[in-house]
Amino acid sequence: MNEADSRDIAASFGRRGYTLTDDLKKADAVVVNTCTVRQRAEDKAISQIGRLRKWKLARPDGKLFIVGCAAQKLGGKDLKRRFPFVDEVTGARDIEYFEDALAAQLGPAPETGYPDSALFRSPQSSYVTIMRGCSHKCSYCIVPAVRGPAVFLPPEEILQDARLKLAAGAKEIVLLGQTVNAYRHGKTTFSELLKKVLGLPGLARLRFMSPHPLYFDESFTAVLAGNPKLARYLHLPVQSGSDRILKAMRRGYTRTQYLDLLAKLRAAVPELAVSTDFIVGYPGETEEDFADTLALIKEGRFSMAFCFKYSPRSDRPEMASHLDEPAMEARLEKLLAAVKKNSRLVLNERIGKIEEVLFETENYGRTSGNFGCRVKAGGAPGALSKALIEGADKNVLNGKVI
């Protein structure tokens, strides 16, 4: 979400004639988009802001904006007291009003539309936010507190954003939100929204991130099965393989229910690739619970997983992990190794198959299942071509355009 917000913020600057730079010395404005999902992210954001003191001293005319979840959590007043050189603080809840904050500092935008495909997430792929916030209460998660309850954007607004990005050269759209498949606006459900976006001219592929296991229904399965433009890929966070821990996390499903859902979706779309998120070291996680998580990797046939060490986001003593840092690290390493091993197996299953590749360069693109794919020749940026998969190395497929 923060990455998508950053890109939209960059677009707001772009409409005022700004371009992106990695070189602080050249920057006329700096935006720090902060995250607080884990403590480390918040600490990094704070030290980054501290380091910008020097830039602001050298560039008193430069504008410094602090946005995002940590800004929301810590509060504008506190941040400005600690870092008086900051010009503007916009918390995650108010990010849709960033344009107003920018107008206050720099004046209104003379341009409309999407300024530059260089701001996409990849050369041909752009995020489109469809909801903000989250109405779940997962015990470990700070998102609902900093981003507020789920708010779904009107379908017309979403379609307009997608149209602008397609007009600017996007071939792929990634619909984004904390629980995207819970989408509902008036009579428009998630499945209906997917159909509307799938109907936009110029779209080669549609992705979404992240769904929640609780909100898939029959109509989604039908849309997935019936629309090859909808990526054969889900990033479906499971968090743990232990029922005891899932319950303590208030995830709302059991291990069996999660696996049954995957089985149902794969029965409709056998080539579906699935990746996930895991948290290790949740308070009370025993060796047995952790073993359940390890075993789930193979059962879920995950192509990839983001693995996180539990980071307490509340001061309540029962929310502290009983694991010390070395024990936490040991579990994380075991988990990462198991994920890597399984990814290899899942990748190798694609050898001999024909995959549709959306090319980013002449030699590299992504398959519908979100695997990277290299070809020697025949690719063209933005083109969707079929490739025969001949091999795999590390985490990338090798194919031949056919």
Q: Which is nearer to ligand SF4, 136 or 184 (CB)?
A: 136
- Does 277 help bind ligand 5AD (rule: CB under 6 A)? yes
For 28-61, give the DSSP string. Answer: SEEEEEE--SSHHHHHHHHHHHHHHHHHHHH-TT
- Spell out, one character per residue from 210 to 229, where the chain touches ligand SF4: x when CB under 6 A holds, - when not: --x-----------------
Pair of tokens at residue 150: 């789920």
- The strand pair at 131-132 and 151-152 is best described as antiparallel
- Does 311 help bind ligand 5AD (rule: CB under 6 A)? yes
Q: Which does 310 bind (CB under 5 to 8 A by kind): ligand SF4, ligand 5AD, none?
A: ligand 5AD
- Does 130 help bind ligand SF4 (rule: CB under 6 A)? no
Q: Which does 311 bind (CB under 5 to 8 A by kind): ligand 5AD, ligand SF4, none?
A: ligand 5AD
Distance of alpha carbon 85 from alpha carbon 389, whole angstroms: 54
Rounding to the nearest 10 degrees, give the CA dihedral for residues 139, 144, 145, 150: -150
- Does 302 help bind ligand 5AD (rule: CB under 6 A)? no
Q: Which of 16, 73, 136, 353 binds ligand SF4 (CB under 6 A)?
A: 136
Q: Which does 359 bind (CB under 5 to 8 A by kind): ligand 5AD, ligand SF4, none?
A: none
- Does 179 help bind ligand SF4 (rule: CB under 6 A)? yes
Q: Which is nearer to ligand 5AD, 54 or 316 (CB)?
A: 316
Q: How far is CA 179 from the centre of its chain?
A: 11
Q: Which does 171 bind (CB under 5 to 8 A by kind): ligand SF4, ligand 5AD, none?
A: none
Nearest CA-CA partner of 173 in 204, 142, 213: 204
- Does 72 help bind ligand 5AD (rule: CB under 6 A)? no
Nearest CA-CA partner of 266 in 307, 312, 295, 299: 299
The least distance separating ligand 5AD from the CB of residue 136, rounded to whole angstroms, comes to 11
**Under 8 Å between Cβ of 366 and 390:** no
Nearest CA-CA partner of 382 in 201, 123, 206, 126: 123
Q: Which of 313, 350, 366, 374 binds ligand 5AD (CB under 6 A)?
A: 313
Distance of alpha carbon 382 from alpha carbon 126, whole angstroms: 13
Q: Residues interacting with ligand SF4, by CB under 6 A?
A: 134, 136, 138, 141, 143-144, 178-179, 212
